[in-house]
Amino acid sequence: MMKTLYTLLLLALGSPALATALMVAPPQSQPILIQGGTLHTVTQGVLPNTDLLVEAGRIRAIGTALPVPADARLIDASGQRVYPGLIALANTLGLEEIEMIRSTVDSEEVGQLNPQLRAAVAYNPDSELIPTVRSNGITHIQLTPSGDLLAGTSSLLNLDAWNLDDALVPGGEGLHLYWPDLHLSVSDDELAERQRQRQQRQLTQLNQAFEQAYGYYLNRQHAQRQDRRWQAMLPVFEGQRPLFVHADTQPQIEQALRLADRYRLKMVLVGGYDSYRLIDQLLAQQVPVVYTHANSLPLRRHEPVDLPFTIPALLADAGVELALAYPGSWDSRNLPFAAGYAAAHGLGGARALKAITLSPANILGLSDMGALEVGYRANLVISDGDLLDIGQSRVSMVLIDGRQIDLNNRHKQLYHKYLNKPAR
């Protein structure tokens, strides 16, 4: 066994051709003028044959026939589409490398009450999966902890960085609560009773935790000792940080809304399969929805097969603030295509694009991301076709804060390797 492990280690270290050793892009050193592209601005509609100037990592000008700075780098985007960089919410990229190998998975901690934990401290900026995700136009992720009940705090990261400090985007944090599963077995009475007891224990534990945390919030000036768990929840009670509640069924969402109303929390619903049944309550409490099922099967057998695709349109039509997410690590690269499904089922292309760009930025409290606007961060994607169409999307360039990102990745390397394999 030791000889086998040693051999595998030598093979891994001795196969540089299989590694995606990409260099992090340096800071922008000269102006970049993108000329003649079709700009999907999100906030100003679609602007055909329009120029966009990037300087010092920011969008400095948008218009037709912009003057060319003396030392500018020119990019001809004629016939191509320019989009804001996509923001992938509810993401574990950099926390999970190979799902079946436990030592490469660091997305969850033991215990059920861990509000003091930050998912970002376990982030691996050298993950082989990152280049495959950003090559589909995703420039930022909300790195999100997994778990039960209070799982910890998420952070917003850019996908081209040397280390965590380089990746972190100031602001954009949120506390994540996974609501207890309220499903009961209908075929096994004993199992149903055990499930009911477990649910009740979790709900009791959750309510007690919030009571203690709120008491700590009210009396923190006179606390005898600092409690790291409840200290981490202070920004949530102060309204400075949202509470992301992961819940899908109507009973779960109703219970979560009551909790948020009781403590006057800034709640964001994640998952939200049954959210269309509770639109009035969501609007009354101004709760945005991060919908995660735009590319899923129905939750129940009797439901129409296309219901998961149409729910985003139902929410948006009613005025609910909507973002779309594709939870996971490597598979989150499918985010734009999930948005395309929603677009084709009533949401429309403009609102679908907003749901993966500007709306995530708004939900995270960031006012300079998610759109092609003067003064915004220069997070851009250039594609030869429709970015939301899996049959047309061909990303040719990605900029993060004005830095051009290397779009090479492991998948492209393997594709070319076997494409050029000599015939026998």
DSSP state of 106: -
Q: Which two tokens stand for residue 82?
A: 């320019």
Q: Which residue's structure tokens are 């994607």?
A: 381
Domain definitions of the chain by residue range: 18-85+370-424, 86-367
Q: Which two tokens stand for residue 170?
A: 């100031």
- pLDDT number for residue 221: 66
Q: Please count the other Cβ atoms lying within 10 Å of the Cβ belonging to residue 385.
A: 15
Exposure string for 360-379, b = 16+ CB within 10 A, e = fewer? bbbbbebeebbbbbeebbbb
- pLDDT number for residue 205: 94
pLDDT by residue, tens only, the chain of 424 residues: 444 444 444 344 344 334 446 889 999 999 999 999 999 999 999 999 999 999 999 999 999 999 999 999 999 999 999 999 999 999 999 998 888 888 888 888 888 999 999 999 999 999 999 999 999 999 999 999 999 999 999 999 999 999 999 999 999 999 999 999 877 776 787 888 888 888 999 999 999 999 999 999 998 766 667 889 999 999 999 999 999 999 999 999 999 999 999 999 999 999 999 999 999 999 999 999 999 999 999 999 999 999 999 999 999 999 999 999 999 999 999 999 999 999 999 999 999 999 999 999 999 999 999 999 999 999 999 999 999 999 999 999 999 999 999 998 888 888 888 888 888 7
Kindly state which CATH superfamily the domain 18-85+370-424 is placed in: Urease, subunit C, domain 1 (2.30.40.10)
The Cβ-side half-sphere exposure at 289, using a 13 Å CA radius, reads: 31
- pLDDT number for residue 322: 98
* Alpha helices, H only, 185-247: 189-218, 228-232, 234-237
- pLDDT number for residue 119: 93
Give the residue among 169, 137, 209, 177 at the shortest CA–CA distance from 393.
137
Between the alpha carbon of residue 156 and those of residues 142, 153, 306, the distances in Å are 4, 10, 32
Q: Which two tokens stand for residue 163?
A: 């280390």
Q: How far apart are CA 158 and CA 97, in angstroms?
A: 18
φ, ψ of residue 417 to 5 degrees: the values are: -60, -50
Q: Which fold has domain 86-367?
A: TIM Barrel (3.20.20)
Amino acid at 153: T
Inter-residue contact 294 to 304 (CB < 8 Å): no
